[in-house]
Amino acid sequence: MRRPALRSLRRCVRTPLTLLTTAALAACVAPQSPPRAPSAAVSRPAHARPAPAPSSQRPLTLPTAAIDEPMQPDRPTRRVSVPLPADLPTPPGGATAAAQGIRPGPAVAGLDITPAEARAALGAFRISCPSLVRRTDGSGLTRGEDWREACTAAPGWSDGDAQRFFARYFEAAVIGAGTAFATGYYEPEIRGSLVRQPGYEVPIYRRPPDLLEVDLSLFADDLRGRKIRGQGIDGQLRPYPDRAAIVGGALAGKGLELAWAADEVEFFFLQVQGSGKLRLPDGRAVRIGYDSQNGRDYTGIGALMRDRGLLGPGQQSMQGIMAWLRANPEQGRAIMNENKSFVFFRPISGPGPIGAMGYPVTGRATVAADPAFVPLGAPVFLQLDRTEASGLWVAQDTGGAIKGANRFDTFWGGGETARRIAGGMSGRGNAWLLLPIGTVARLNGGSIGGPGL
């Protein structure tokens, strides 16, 4: 490929890779920026789309979601402080963890990992293992065989001795500066219907057939792990319609409606989260999950609203932003359409929601991370000023706004408690990545390189 074409492709990689089940509302902040208020929802313009009469629609059949979810592990609110990584004389640079550099962390046995966290993390790690041992690690830190010993031991390891599992098979490492920023996401439940009817007017779209995804690594090695999305028109890849165009009717009448939501604000928040449940008029719950997005950049509107002075004291949480949007519907619609990203969904059966690895994620145990800096499936220990988010997690997901080293989005499951915690989560502190023993020495040429802790 000619160099100008490659430069054009590289400019396109700013497009979000996924909005996964994805980014928390505060995730509109750049990885190294001070914490910002959560971002909020997008909705349709005031005008409604014409729709066929309800009688002309055949109800879609979606799998019924389990209404009784398993109990989520408790996370303690007090922790023993872990020695912080030494400051680096020069801020690290590089597009991957391997490029930014890796340093040894404290002994895993000395980390304040509780038994409940260890059990939950061990369960999540078991789920991740089939992918860990075969996938290419975009961070450049590990190889599939590095994980094999731990993954072989994990299925038969006693949950009651889970803390010792992580101490036995892993070493803590610091990526770059080690300074972490964490937000939160959850699985929302909103009112929905499988057919359009009065009170259910907001279309939930399935993935359009003309949405194309291009793997840029096929064109250049330094674009490994990067993808762009667009619309195939006359043999060319063009930008897909943005949110304003889609909510204005760009996809109406094409048979792409998966279901209909009752509330435009709630549906936008479900799009930001990337997956969720629909509570049908008859009381049943069905689960829908992320099935790509339109390739447009994600913009967190919470930051826009804050910067414009629209949010007062106590309004910078998800709940406060939703209240403002409902109180100012016309202005809110215009602001929400400034987030050009639009998410498409598919039915989900069985446990969920589904993370970027293709497996169910676990509330209070899963984090979303940037796969260029964290091997998906790897354990992560966080020490934050938000103690409920401190502790052991497993990176099983990604997010359109979760970019950079030590940037994480903590998953809290479903329900009102999860919604409250995730909506206000903004934690700063430090992160230690747990890698197979020997990884740090191998990456540093056989010696424990880099400044000590």
Q: How far is residue 173's CA from residue 108's CA, in Å, rounded to a whole number?
A: 10
Residues whose CB is less than 8 angstroms from the CB of residue 100 and which lie 6 or more positions away in sequence, other chains included: 92, 93, 94, 175, 176, 373, 405
Instruction: Return the structure tokens found at 198.
Output: 């009065």
Nearest Cα to Cα of residue 422 among 185, 210, 236: 185
CA of 342: how far to CAs of 1, 16, 321, in Å? 31, 11, 19
Note the pLDDT of residue 27.
35
Note the pLDDT of residue 451.
39
Note the pLDDT of residue 6.
36
Q: Tell me the pairing of strands 366-369 and 391-397.
A: parallel
Residue type, 184: G
Note the pLDDT of residue 39.
35
Q: How far is residue 311's CA from residue 309's CA, in Å, rounded to a whole number?
A: 6
- The answer to whether the Cα torsion of 376, 382, 386, 389 is positive or negative is positive
Residue type, 146: D
End-to-end CA distance of the chain: 45
Which stretches of the chain drop beneath a pLDDT of 50? 1-59, 66-71, 448-453
Residue ranges of domains in the chain, CATH in brackets:
39-44+60-443 (2.40.240.50)
Q: How far is residue 45's CA from residue 352's CA, in Å, rounded to a whole number?
A: 31
Tokens 């929802």, residue located? 41
Q: How many beta carbons lie within 10 A of that of residue 280, not counting itself?
A: 18
Q: How many beta carbons lie within 10 A of that of residue 88, not counting itself?
A: 17
Residue range 439-450, pLDDT digits in tens = 999 999 865 444
Q: How far is residue 188's CA from residue 310's CA, in Å, rounded to a whole number?
A: 25
> Do 266 and 273 form a contact (C-beta atoms < 8 A)?
no
DSSP annotation of 395 reads E
Q: How far is residue 430's CA from residue 393's CA, in Å, rounded to a whole number?
A: 13
Nearest Cα to Cα of residue 36 among 44, 26, 46: 26
Predicted TM-score (pTM) of this structure: 0.73
Burial class (CB in 10 A: 0-12, 13-18, 19+), 211: middle
Nearest Cα to Cα of residue 137 among 81, 83, 98: 98
Q: How far is residue 34's CA from residue 373's CA, in Å, rounded to a whole number?
A: 20
Q: How far is residue 237's CA from residue 216's CA, in Å, rounded to a whole number?
A: 13
Instruction: Return the structure tokens found at 272.
Output: 């930001």
